[in-house]
A = this chain, B = another copy of it.
């Protein structure tokens, strides 16, 4: 059996064909043309899926389903995208549109939830049934997997881990709240904290490691590199960052006690350099009877997680 997953973004549509081992055996990327109507975008998407099937001599009987991951809010079982950031999608019945061109079951799901599902089915938490994935990138996203399925609440909008407040009246967040986890645990937050620390400490190597000596070129990698070279300012910034992330992890475990918390997004490239200290600090936040049973893990599927998870949504409903 084969599975088709589509990662629908504001810039590109990425479609992938998975074999029965859930491996991507073909991946195609086309521009979204997000200014167009949803009908046009979805027709392109359907044609892309048909091309992939033809190329592999697959009929509709060979393919389990088409799953589509999209930003925003989607109802998987109904096949409806309620709204999608950066796209002209409002209450679009994606299933009906795609099925004009291909006679296959069609499911939709939020893209971060798709990525989380992939890590739980065949990624960092392979085979685990209760998993939370916290995505540390520009913002902090998340996906909650319960009993092997995406859990997104009563109205498909939950899983917004990045917008739970860990510091009342703290840093203002784009969502309107103050003190959201995202403002402390995102890669953006780490970069901003490192810039501020470098500015306040002229002697820190952070000031030289940035391109053109311009602090606006700060990256998360530079902070890790500087810390590993012994820069005390970078070490302190990172240590605080690890504690922020650990607060989020511990909050998740107190509430949901997944078997594993997986850290995804750009930060996950740091692997054990990130998960090691976060595991230690999160464990220190737990209490007797509610220990951190398993270490925090880094996501392993990278950018493919969205396609893989989308492709597998239909197997979990």
Residues of A within 8 A of B (CB): 72-73, 83, 128-130, 142, 144, 146, 151-161, 163-168, 175-177, 244, 247, 250-259, 285, 287, 289-290, 293
Distance from A7 Cβ to chain B, minimum over Cβ atoms (Å):
20
> Can you name 8 A-B residue pairings with CB atoms under 8 Å?
A153-B253, A155-B293, A158-B254, A158-B256, A159-B255, A163-B254, A164-B251, A168-B247
A146-B146, A163-B254, A177-B250 are known; give 5 further A-B pairs, CB within 8 A. Answer: A144-B256, A154-B259, A160-B290, A163-B287, A255-B256
Cα(A293)–Cα(B153), bound, Å: 12
> Which residues on B sit within 8 Å (CB–CB) of A176?
285, 287
Distance from A148 Cβ to chain B, minimum over Cβ atoms (Å):
12
Contact A160 B73 (CB under 8 A): no
Cα(A172)–Cα(B252), bound, Å: 19
Cα(A288)–Cα(B244), bound, Å: 26
* A164 to B, closest residue via Cβ: B251
* A243 to B, closest residue via Cβ: B168
* A169 to B, closest residue via Cβ: B167
